[in-house]
Structure 1
Amino acid sequence: MKKNVKDLMSSKFVKVAEQDQISQVVVKIAKDKETMLACVLDEEGRLKGIITPKEVLRAVEIREFGTIRRPFFEGQEILRILSSKYAKDIMSPPVSVKPEDSVDKAIDIMLDKGFYEVPVVDKQGKIVGLINYFSIITSSMEYLRP
């Protein structure tokens, strides 16, 4: 039986605003422990963009004389960088599926974009949850049981 995204999605997600400092975004993701994706929403709850760990890592790159340096162990410097940039500065364009889309479509997006999870939005573009690899793999386990 073909499953739709709504059958496997979680209604939990990390929401942030475009004006949130990246330091706030990192704290929200760290507190959640179930996702590594932050969904950037407008005032009406519509998905405006996404922030993956890749965007956060790129945000703390420092270019010096053509060399990239990542100051992870330089606490004050990384705090300064994370507090001086905002979600809108690093977010990627929104990529999403709808609840009625096939799970295959979600898998295609994950493979194509290198994502572990994809936001799920309704017809108005408002986020209603996430679908991730774990829920897809767990769901397929029912076919492996004797």
Structure 2
Amino acid sequence: MPLPRISAAELMTENPRTVRVDDPIGEAVDVLQTTDFRHLPVVDEQGELVGMLSDRDLRALRLPYAEDAAVVDAALQKARVPVSTMMSSNVLSVGPDADVTELMELMLENKIGALPVVDGEGALLGIVSYVDIFRGILEEA
């Protein structure tokens, strides 16, 4: 069965929540914990995409229950470092006209769960996750 022709612009979450490269990593953790998001685009001062931060990137910060004050202090110190230290900077992105098939192929080939959608100048327009793709295909079926 052929897939419906759906573009990234039709599937994406527009104006997604973002963090900046100099935001403390603890702020990004708070965003991920208080939303349903698993991926946060990282932008510079001009709003251009410079990286991605995922829940997978933040696994190093998760600690089991710790009674040792030194362990707790180390975790708090890590929470203060900038997002730029933990983000993925080699980010695949797509334009708004990218087809759903292209999105799926990129996600599968690169083992990623979301793709930022950018304009010709690199400004972030939205983000497409695999859940967005599933939802879009089901709505077209």
TM-score when scaled to structure 2?
A: 0.82
The answer to whether the 8 A contact 1:97-1:120 is kept is yes
TM alignment of 1:1-146, pairs within 5 A: 1-31=4-34, 33-58=35-60, 60=61, 71-74=63-66, 75-83=72-80, 85-93=81-89, 94-142=91-139, 144=141
Q: Alpha-carbon deviation of 1:24?
A: 0.8
Distance in 2 separating the partners of 1:73 and 1:117:
31
Instruction: Evaluate the alpha carbon distance shift between residue 51 and residue 30 of structure 1 in structure 2; reply closer, same or farther with a 3 A threshold.
Output: same
Measured on the aligned residues, the alpha-carbon RMSD in Å equals 1.9
- Aligned partners of 1:30, 1:71: CA distance in 2, in Å? 15
Structure 2 unmatched ranges of 5 or more: 67-71
**1:136 counterpart letter in structure 2:** I
The aligned amino acid for 1:115 is I
Quote the offset at 1:86 in angstroms: 1.3
Gaps of 5+ in 1: 61-69
Identity of aligned residues (%): 23
How far did residue 12 of structure 1 move? Answer: 4.1
User: Is the Cα contact below 8 Å between 1:9 and 1:130 reproduced in 2?
Assistant: yes
Shift in Å at residue 51 of structure 1? Answer: 0.7
Deviation string 1:89-125 (CA, Å, 9 cap, x unpaired) is 1111222111011112211221122222211111110
Q: What is the number of equivalent residue pairs in this alignment?
A: 132
Once the two structures are TM-superposed, the CA of residue 7 in structure 1 deviates from its matched residue by 1.4
Structure with the bigger RCO (C-alpha within 8 Å, sep 6+) is: 2
Question: What amino acid is aligned across from residue 73 of structure 1 in structure 2?
Answer: Y
- Report the 3-state secondary structure (helix = DSSP H, G, I; strand = E; otherwise coil) of the residue aligned with 2:125: strand
Amino acid aligned to 1:88: S
Deviations for 1:49-75, whole angstroms, at most 9, x for unmatched residues? 0111121113x3xxxxxxxxx633234
Deviation of 1:22 after TM superposition, in Å, equals 0.7
2:75 and 2:110 mapped to 1: Cα distance? Answer: 27
